[in-house]
Structure formats: C-alpha cells, structure tokens
C-alpha cells in the first residue's frame, strides 16, 4: 500500500430494509450510496426512484432484501403534492421553464369537482422528461435535445384523490395510485381540466404498499447516530412482504422447500387466506423467513429463497 492509499473498510453482509426519508435535491441513487456507506453494507438497492424534486419514503434494501424489491416496484404509492395553477412548464414541475401563463378563475368547488373526474382508471401520456425509453434512449434525452416523440397513453389507477388545501393558485392534494402513475402529469391534466394549466411545486411520498413514513429516518439522523443505533432502524426482510399471507412449515417441509421442491397444500396446515392467494411468504417453524412461494393447482411452489435461511 502506498502512502496516499487508504486502507479498505471491510463491508458487512447485512440483510434488512431501511425506510429512508429522502430529502429534496438528492437523487435516489445518491441517497442509496450514502446509506450504503453509512451501513458499510456489501449489497444494497432501492425500490424505485424518487425525483430530486421529491422528498419522502424511499425504502432501501440490503442483502437478501434486494431479492424482493420488485414487489415494491409493483406496489401502490401514496403522495402529498402541491400544484400551482396558471403556469405550465417544460418539465411539468418547478425545475422546468414556463411555457405559458393563464389566469386562474376557478374556485375550490371547481377544483373538487375536477378532482372527482380523475379518480378510478384513467389514461396518462408519459411526460417527455421521464426515464421511459424509445429506441433504447430515455425520453428525457430527446427532451433535452429539444425533440418531442410520440408516446402512447397508458392506463393507471387513481385509488384515492383528496383535496388537502386550496390556497389558489396553489392546490395541495393527497393521491394513492398504481405503479407507473406520474403525479406531474396528473397535476398538468388537472390544470388543463380547470382551463388554466398547472405544474407541480412539491411532491412528498408518504407510502409504498403497506410501508409508511412513520418509522422512516433521515440521512442526517443516520449520520449522527452510532452504528448500533443505525442497525436498530433496519426493518426485517419480511417488511417488504407484509401484504402476503403467511405459511409456516415443519422441519421436513422446510428442508424440501429450501431444496426447491413443490409442496402439496393438502399436506400442509394453511389458513383460508393462503388458499385464496397467488403468492405467500413462507417461514420455518421457528419463525425464520424462508422466502416467497407461488400458489396454484394445489401446490406451494418456491419462487425466491433466502440464502441465509438454510444456516
């Protein structure tokens, strides 16, 4: 080792989920890198990005938890957002340049009436400033080059949409939506329906699936805490799987399951909610998470296994 080289810090094999409250101005990847460094973790990943403009819940997965991050990518999300009526921007949010300005003549009753029209199944045209790809290139690269390409509308579901505050020209709302929903586009479309246009000025994610901000921690708090306190903020791997029903296996069934064998449901003691499900989380008799299984045709079929479950 030369005089200028620093000794390598040993990385830890760490399994768990960190509920991070991401700040505004930081990309999801930068937040992940900082958290991974604080935990000295060998392996980490996030469960879907938040724009730098957005703050709020960003679940980070360490070790074996990364195997189940896709389940949160598919999960519904909840946001609190503020849109400013009367101004459209190039990006649909406050980071873009103003495209046009129109008078805001609506009132709160009109806003609430328009919000009602956006509940349920709707069609959105993805924004040009997005990571969706066209011919292998992200749409935002076309947008930065001043090009606009045709995009097909996509069906998304707005499960809940409620007004929090109407202080015109600003409107704050809460939305729970399916994966693939662009809240920027939702704000723009609501603005157009009101006849004045709009752009997003604040976005905060408060929920991902069953996970909420209630037990989230900031990077500042993590940085200031000693290592044992940081570890206390980690949720178990099955925090990602809380919406799945659970199956507990006896030792022999556990052995077979960890060897990738399919198990007949008739041979297992399972609850009715498991029989009605398509996927389930699976535990050993001692309560250790073994992984996730698919259910169909009367069998429990291993889907993704926890490597450390066999130890």
Domain ranges of the chain: 16-74+211-239, 77-208, 244-310
Please confirm, yes or no, whether 51 is among the known catalytic residues.
yes
Which tokens go with 99?
């495209």
| CATH fold label, 77-208 | Pseudouridine synthase (3.30.2350)
Q: pTM value?
A: 0.89
Would the CATH topology of 16-74+211-239 be identical to that of 244-310?
Answer: no
Pairing, β 55-62 against β 44-46: antiparallel
How many C-beta atoms lie closer than 10 Å to residue 229's C-beta? 12
Residue 239 carries which DSSP code?
Answer: G
- The active-site residue, picked from 21, 51, 93, 189, is 51
CA 21 to chain centre: 12
CATH pick for 16-74+211-239 out of 3.90.420.10, 3.40.190.10, 3.40.630.30, 3.30.2350.10 = 3.30.2350.10
Q: Provide the residue-wise pLDDT of the chain in tens; the chain has 311 residues.
A: 555 666 677 888 899 999 999 999 999 999 999 999 999 999 998 887 888 999 999 999 999 999 988 888 888 999 999 999 999 999 899 988 999 999 999 999 999 999 999 999 999 987 766 667 777 777 777 767 777 777 788 999 999 999 999 999 999 999 999 998 999 999 999 999 999 999 999 999 999 999 999 999 999 999 999 988 999 999 999 999 988 999 999 999 999 999 999 999 988 888 888 888 899 999 998 899 999 999 999 999 999 999 765 55
Which of these, 80, 82, 108, lies nearest to 93 by C-alpha position?
82
Query: Which H, E and C letters describe 255-270, residue by residue?
Result: HHHHCCCCEEHHHCCC
> What CATH class is the domain 244-310?
mainly beta
Quick count: other Cβ atoms within 10 Å of Cβ 215?
Answer: 13
């Amino acid at each position: 080792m030369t005089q200028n080289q620093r000794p390598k810090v040993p990385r830890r094999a760490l399994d768990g989920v960190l509920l991070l409250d991401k700040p505004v101005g930081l990309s999801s990847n930068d937040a992940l890198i900082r958290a991974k460094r604080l935990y000295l973790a060998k392996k980490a990943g996030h469960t879907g990005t938040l724009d730098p403009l957005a703050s709020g819940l960003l679940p980070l997965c360490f070790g074996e938890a990364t195997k189940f991050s896709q389940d949160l990518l598919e999960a519904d999300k909840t946001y609190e957002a503020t849109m400013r009526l009367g101004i459209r921007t190039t990006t649909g949010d406050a980071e873009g340049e103003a495209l046009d300005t129109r008078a805001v003549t609506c009132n709160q009753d009109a806003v609430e009436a328009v919000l009602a029209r956006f509940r349920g199944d709707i069609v959105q045209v993805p924004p040009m400033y997005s990571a969706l790809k066209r011919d292998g290139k992200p749409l935002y690269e076309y947008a930065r080059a001043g090009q606009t390409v045709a995009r097909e509308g996509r069906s998304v579901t707005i499960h809940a949409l409620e007004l929090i505050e109407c202080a015109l020209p600003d409107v704050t709302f809460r939305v729970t939506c399916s994966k693939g929903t662009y809240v920027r586009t939702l704000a723009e479309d609501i603005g157009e329906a009101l006849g004045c246009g709009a752009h997003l000025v604040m976005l905060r994610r408060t929920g991902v699936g069953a996970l909420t901000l209630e037990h989230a921690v900031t990077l500042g708090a993590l940085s200031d805490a000693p290592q044992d306190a940081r570890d206390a903020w980690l949720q178990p791997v099955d925090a990602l799987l809380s919406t799945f029903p659970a199956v507990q296996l006896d030792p022999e069934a556990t052995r077979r399951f960890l060897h990738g064998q399919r198990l007949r449901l008739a041979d297992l003691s399972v609850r009715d909610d498991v029989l009605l499900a398509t996927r389930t989380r699976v535990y050993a008799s001692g309560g250790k998470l073994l992984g996730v299984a698919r259910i169909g045709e009367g069998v429990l079929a291993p889907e993704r296994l926890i490597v450390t479950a066999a130890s």
